[in-house]
Amino acid sequence: MRQYHLAIDDGDVAPIVLLPGDPGRVPVIATRWDEARHVATNREYVTYTGVYRGTPISCTSTGIGAPSTSIAVEELARCGARTFLRVGTAGTFLDHVRNGDMAIFDSAMRLDGSSRLYAPIEYPAVASHEVVSAAIAAARALGFRHHVGVTRSADSFYAGHAAPGSSYGGYWQSWWRDQFDDLARLNVVAAEMEASVIFVLARVWGLRAGGVALILDNARHVSGGAAFDPQTQFEHGEAGIERLADLACETARILHERDAADG
């Protein structure tokens, strides 16, 4: 059945689907493939399907945040997707993690609202072991510096910084002051907005999920008084998106080959 938001139908997507947020990154990722076709574009959702080194593969943009992501994952699953890989950009809270490094998510802090509508907050947002293992293998084979750990998935991009200046007009709440330092003490490797709901939905439905991200900045340094500069972040991110695309596609290939070997 044709899906209302993604405008896809049964058979339009492969079992493994890459999930970037930005619709513009879908065709960039698809340039890595041996075969690629545009399936649909509707709202923030762009879908391509093709073949990468013998691996049937799809890529669908989710837009920003957990609500639109939950819609994408719901409709993709209805059309045959069984493994989801979040492919995005992120900040970090840890000083040993550098700009340009890759983060591989094994779990997520559920600071989003959408996943709570599916499962109580006590239910963990955990990636599938097979997906995490494949992502580690891909990063090692590509020679990418990477870190495996917890990501914080939150609903807001601008709120929560430790000092005034991020939110419009200098708006700020005092309880934000220590939030990022506390996350560093918890050894949280990344900050983004989508992984938690993907992990919860996949676990609830008995499917698989994981996530990889390109680190763009250290959120604590920005909050500590450095100027928040979206343009610098954009330029740094664009320089690394091709490496991120390689990591995602290789993760999918390794998963597919391991699945085939396991019968």
Domains of the chain: total: 1
Phi, psi of 109 (to 5 degrees): -80, 130
Residue 109 sits in a domain whose CATH number is 3.40.50.1580
| Residue 8 maps to a domain | no
Q: Is the pLDDT of residue 60 over 50?
A: yes
- Give the domain range for residue 111: 16-262
Q: What pLDDT is stored for residue 239 in this prediction?
A: 72
| Residue 4 maps to a domain | no
Q: What pLDDT is stored for residue 225 in this prediction?
A: 44
| Residue 5 maps to a domain | no
| Residue 65 maps to a domain | yes
| Residue 11 maps to a domain | no
| Residue 214 maps to a domain | yes
Q: How confident is the model at residue 237 (pLDDT cuts 50, 70, 90)?
A: low
The answer to whether 136 and 95 have CB atoms below 8 angstroms apart is no
Q: What pLDDT is stored for residue 166 in this prediction?
A: 85
Q: Per-residue pLDDT tens for 15-53?
A: 999 999 999 999 999 999 999 999 999 999 999 999 999
Q: Per-residue pLDDT tens for 207-216?
A: 999 999 999 9
Query: Mean pLDDT over all residues of the chain?
Result: 94
Q: How confident is the model at residue 228 (pLDDT cuts 50, 70, 90)?
A: very low
Q: Per-residue pLDDT tens for 167-187?
A: 999 999 999 999 999 999 999
Phi, psi of 115 (to 5 degrees): -65, -25
Q: Is the pLDDT of residue 227 over 90?
A: no
| Residue 6 maps to a domain | no
Q: Per-residue pLDDT tens for 134-145?
A: 999 999 999 999
The closest alpha carbon to 127, from 213, 200, 19, 214, belongs to 200
Q: Which helix (H) or strand (E) holds 16?
A: strand 16-19
Q: What pLDDT is stored for residue 226 in this prediction?
A: 45
Q: What is the mean pLDDT of residues 148-162?
A: 95
| Residue 3 maps to a domain | no
Q: Is the pLDDT of residue 232 over 90?
A: no
